[in-house]
Chains A and B, each alone.
Chain A
Amino acid sequence: MDASDRELIEGYRNGEIAALEDLVTKYRRQLFGYILNMTGNSSEADDVFQEVWLRVIRKLSLYNEKNFLGWLVRIAHNIVIDRYRRKKPVVSLDKETDEGQSLMATVVAKDGDPEKNAQMGEVGTHIAEAVAQLPDDQKEVFVMRARTGLTFKEIAKVQAVSINTVLARMQYAITKLRPLLQEDYANL
Chain B
Amino acid sequence: MNCSELEQKILLASSGELQDEELESLQSHLAQCAQCKAYHDSIDALLIAADGSLPTGEPSAEAISRIKEAAAPRQKRVVVFPRLWVHALAYAAAVVVLISGWLMLPRDDGGRGDRISEINTIVAMMSEENVFSTNIKEGEGGNEARLRALANTLLEIQGFTESQTLDEEWLDQLTEPSPTALLEHNTLSPLWKGYV
| Interface: A71 (CB within 8 A) | no
Which 9 residue pairs are nearest across A and B when measured between Cβ atoms? Answer: A124-B53, A116-B52, A146-B50, A188-B45, A50-B63, A53-B67, A167-B8, A49-B59, A107-B55
Which of these, A36, A53, A153, contacts B55 with CB under 8 Å? A36
Residues of B within 8 A of A21 (CB): 68, 71
- Could you tell me which B residues sit within 8 Å of A by CB distance? 7-8, 11-12, 15-17, 42-43, 45-47, 49-60, 62-64, 66-68, 70-73
Do residues B49 and A152 form an inter-chain contact, with CB atoms below 8 A? no
CA distance A166 to B71 in the complex (A): 34
Do residues A174 and B53 form an inter-chain contact, with CB atoms below 8 A? no
Dominant SS at the B interface? helix
Dominant SS at the A interface? helix
Do residues B53 and A125 form an inter-chain contact, with CB atoms below 8 A? yes
Of all chain B residues, the one with the shortest Cβ separation from A41 is: B55
Residues of B within 8 A of A177 (CB): 46
Type the 1/0 row for A133-166, where 1 means its CB is closer than 8 Å to any CB of B. Answer: 0000000001101110001110000000000100
Residues of B within 8 A of A112 (CB): 52-56
Which of these, A45, A116, A151, A174, contacts B57 with CB under 8 Å? A45
With contacts A15-B73, A21-B68, A49-B63 taken as known, whether A174 is within 8 angstroms of B42 at the C-beta atoms is yes
